[in-house]
Amino acid sequence: MLEQSRRGASPRVRRRRTLVAATAGLLVIAGGGAVILGGLTGRATSGDTGPTTSAAPTETEPAITPAEPRPSPSASPDPAAAPTFDREAHSIDDPNSIWVVVDKLRPLNPTDYSPGDLVDVPVPFQNKPQLRQEASDAVVALFAAFTAETGLALQSQSAFRSFDAQTRVYNNDLVNLGQAGADLSTARPGTSEHQTGLTIDISAQPGECSLNACFADTPHGQWLAANAWRFGYLLRYPADKIPVTGYEFEPWHFRYIGIDLATEMHNTGVTTLEEFFGLPAAPSYG
């Protein structure tokens, strides 16, 4: 046996050794391929071609609730129309109306008109006054308020004048002042506001600047100019409206038109009936 080692292994043994070595080599190669193939298969399965990182767990997104439709804005109500003054509440032509407009272009109809409800006015006076009942009640309240607020007193100079009485007054002025002077200061019969029973001439008691423009500068005249509207009276012939009314300034001449109209004219700043009712100016007789 020793000799056989020296000479080398027999061919049979060498064949067996070669077969064993080849088999082992094949097994090694097959095992390595399996390892490689497993690695490739894992990567292909994961779908990654490079280094991988752990993916964060995904949270379930909340379902999106559709927004509730906004209610359409309700139509805003139309603003309430401001009440307008009814300029046709009373006639401006009827001599029995408290709004009747009498001037040099608008004579009374009939020209000898006389109110049917005249009463004696219970106020101090120079000449006993008569007015229509509504105007009388208003002027009594006016006189009382004036005294309460100022401690002074008023009196009546003149109130209702009939057609005949107005004829006498006008003719007297015609003699003393001439035609132009008479027409500027005194109405011709049939065109006088005194004939309506709605007008009163007021003076101070005791008398001061009676029937004179200086009455406007007295406490009496100033209070009347500022407050007569509260009682339904209008300063009928303002100083700056001679071209409209046709009469010189008469701070003593007050015409009853009712509280509603007097208040509206006061609030709007309109000072003559002609302008308020859109009538022609009456500087002279037509």
Q: 166, 189 in Cβ contact below 8 A?
A: yes
Q: Which of 193, 250, 264, 274 is catalytic?
A: 250
Does residue 250 have an active-site annotation? yes
145-176 residues labelled b (16+ CB within 10 A) or e (exposed): ebeeeeeeebbbbbbbbbbeebbebbeebeee
Q: 264, 273 in Cβ contact below 8 A?
A: no
In whole angstroms, give the CA distance from residue 166 to residue 180.
17
Query: Between the CA of residue 70 and those of 63, 67, 242, 244, what are the distances in Å?
Result: 21, 9, 65, 62
Closest to 276 measured CA to CA, from 286, 45, 267: 267
Query: Between the CA of residue 81 and those of 75, 77, 113, what are the distances in Å?
Result: 17, 11, 41
* Active-site residue set: 250
